[in-house]
Structure formats: structure tokens, C-alpha cells
Amino acid sequence: MTKDIWVFAEHKEGKIKKVTFELLTKGCEMAIRSKGELAAVLVGHNVSNLVDELAYYGAKKVYVIDDSKLEDYTSDVYAKVISELIKTYQPATFLTGTTSIGRDFTPKLAVKLDAGIVSDVTDLNCDSEGKITVTRPIYAGKAFSKIKFECFPQIVVVRNNIIKPKEPDTSKLAEVINYSVNIEDSDIKFNLKEVKLSAGETIELTEADIICSAGRGLKNAENLYLINDLAKAMGNNAAVGASRAIVDAGWIDYSHQVGQTGKVVSPTLYVAVGISGAIQHLAGMSSSKIVAAINIDPDAPIFKVADYGIVGDAFKVIPALIEEIKKAKL
């Protein structure tokens, strides 16, 4: 077993996801401490053009598994090819982000490797032997648990937006290792037929620096335009989130749900509009760097976790807030 640290290079539509750069930044620190080597794992079809950018953020090696059968993501196939790669080269650590894909295939990967796995991690460090200690929230964010791995390989699923990516160094190059895996048709349990994006969706929740989330305080689905307008005013790095209540009510698609049964997010700014602050919702956004709440109820639990709070009618507050944002940009 080596002391090497591997980062899963997640990509979409020909672009590496931001969380990959975050993990490479953290991986660099840990590799120095453990005297291991930092590498990235790139899986897909026709993805060789993404290698250079991984090197810019510190990857010394990039393991590339390129196959036409990997063009569409499936958890079974990803777990198979990555587990074979890990068995061959034996890294100490495998890191991925708390994305839909990262949370999906890593449990299967852990089973195939008989390895330890910790998800929803908000902090991690390693010792000189390469053993990792992680911190993760428990009891819906009311407390934190510290867990230390005692065996290898270590699989860690890290929350997005908790690490500031370093500046890329475009002079860096990485060694490319092409790895072939025999993928049988029987390995593919389902075929992806179609991908549908929500109208106006520009950035995924887990990738967003700013999230504007809506709750039942907006009264009905027609009023969600307020949240869309607010997110649009915030800029291209802002996304629209939602509480479980309005997702269950059919106001908005599940892909926007933040919370224990939705997506776990850690943006720089989280704006909760008309959200009371149920413990299940707080579990999904409590690690946000700044929380701002707008609610007509001064006793709403959301104010207990908010850094900034406005007690008022969202139908009056949001238009005024949008105007101030526009003025600040002039």
C-alpha cells in the first residue's frame, strides 16, 4: 500500500467540477505531510483534454480510464473500473465530493474494496503515516464527530465549498497513465435515455457559491419568481434551492431540495426565504459560511443559525434587496 492520495475528477459537459479543484488543493497539503503523491482519477469517454487542468491544481499523475461505455455515468460500472484501478496501484486515500455521483458510487466502491468510508465530511487531515482523521456533522448538525481511519484504503466523501481552491499553476504538467478495464455488457445495469435540465438552470446546487432557497412562506408556486429573480441578481454563481415542504407540494423539482433528504450544500452565502428552519433542513445547509434569513415570523428557528436576519414580508423585502444589489453593481 502506498501513501498516495487520489482525487476523483468529476466532470460534466466537458468541464471539471469545482469540487475537484478543492480536493486537489487539500490533497496537496496532505501529500506533503504524508510524503505521498497526489493523483487524479479521470473516468469517461474522450476526456483526455481535461488532464492539463488537473495538473494545474497539483495532480502529479492522472489515471485515465477512457471507454465508450463510460460516456454515461452508471454507479456499477464506475465502482468496477475504479476498484480495479485502486487494487492495481494501491493508493492510501480516495477523495470525492458530496455530489450526486460522489455519494452514489462510493458505497459500492467501498464494498468492492472492503474499505472504510466516511461521507459528508467537513474537515480532514492526515498524519505522517497517511492515516486520515475526518470531521462530520451528526444529529442534524447539532454536534460533530471525529473519526480516524485505521486501515487502507480510505474513502472520504467531502462536502463541496469547504476548501478554497488554490490558484492554478499553468506551468505544471502531470504524468498520464492510461488504464484499460474490460467492461462487459452485463456490468451495465441500466442505460441512460435522456437528461432533462430545469428551465433556466445554470449551475448545480452543490457547485454554487450562493444559494437562494425558498420555503412555504412564499405561499404558492407562482411566487417562486421572487427567488429566481434574487438568484439572477446575485450573479452566475448563484443557484435556487428549496425546502422539502415545497418540493413535496410540487412547487419545484426535487433537484433543488436542500436538507437531510435532499442535497447537502456549503455555499459562501445561503439565503433562506420563508423557511422556518426545521432540523432536517438545517442538516443540509448548516456548514454554509454565511446564512441570511428572511421570515415574517420573529420566532422562526432559522434565525438561531442565521448570521443576518430580516423579520419582514418577503414580498416587500426581496424586491428592495434586488434593487440594492443592482445599485451595488453599478
**Measuring CA to CA, which residue among 215, 264, 212 is closest to residue 235?**
212
Q: What ranges in the chain are assigned the alpha helix state H?
A: 18-34, 51-56, 75-89, 100-113, 225-234, 244-248, 279-285, 302-305, 314-329
Contacts of 12 (CB under 8 A, 6+ apart): none
- Verify that 141 and 219 share a domain, yes or no: no
DSSP 8-state symbol, 230:
H
Give residue 198's pLDDT. Answer: 59
- Verify that 151 and 18 share a domain, yes or no: yes
* Domain housing 230: 205-329
195 domain-assigned:
no
173 domain-assigned:
yes
- Verify that 163 and 210 share a domain, yes or no: no
Lookup: cell for 26: 487539500
67 domain-assigned:
yes
pLDDT in tens, 59-94: 999 999 999 999 989 999 999 999 999 999 999 999
- Verify that 246 and 182 share a domain, yes or no: no
- Verify that 171 and 236 share a domain, yes or no: no
pLDDT in tens, 4-27: 999 999 998 899 999 999 999 999
The three-class DSSP label of residue 117 is strand
Beta strands 123-126 and 132-138 are: antiparallel
230 domain-assigned:
yes
- Verify that 47 and 115 share a domain, yes or no: yes
- Verify that 211 and 163 share a domain, yes or no: no
* Cα pseudo-dihedral 253, 258, 263, 269, rounded to 10: 120
CATH code of residue 139: 3.40.50.620
Residue ending a domain, among 187, 219, 240, is 187
- Verify that 209 and 181 share a domain, yes or no: no
Residue ending a domain, among 187, 219, 248, is 187
Residue in the structure block whose three cell numbers are 451528526: 138
How many domains does the structure of the chain reveal? 2
177 domain-assigned:
yes
Cα(263)–Cα(276) distance, rounded to whole angstroms? 18
Categorise residue 259: left if φ over 0, alpha if ψ from -120 to 50, beta otherwise.
left
- Terminal alpha carbon distance of the chain: 56
- Verify that 280 and 307 share a domain, yes or no: yes
Q: Contact 127/92 with Cβ under 8 angstroms?
A: no
- Verify that 20 and 160 share a domain, yes or no: yes
Cα(226)–Cα(314) distance, rounded to whole angstroms? 9
Cα(60)–Cα(24) distance, rounded to whole angstroms? 10
287 domain-assigned:
yes
- Verify that 170 and 271 share a domain, yes or no: no
pLDDT in tens, 187-219: 888 777 777 665 555 688 888 999 999 999 999
Residue ending a domain, among 136, 158, 187, is 187
Give residue 161's pLDDT. Answer: 83
Specify the range with the lowest mean pLDDT, choosing from 128-142, 175-189, 195-209, 261-275: 195-209
196 domain-assigned:
no
pLDDT bracket for residue 139 (50, 70, 90): confident
**Measuring CA to CA, which residue among 67, 269, 42, 305 is closest to residue 188?**
67
31 domain-assigned:
yes
Give residue 199's pLDDT. Answer: 52
- Verify that 144 and 37 share a domain, yes or no: yes
The three-class DSSP label of residue 269 is strand
CATH code of residue 221: 3.40.50.1220
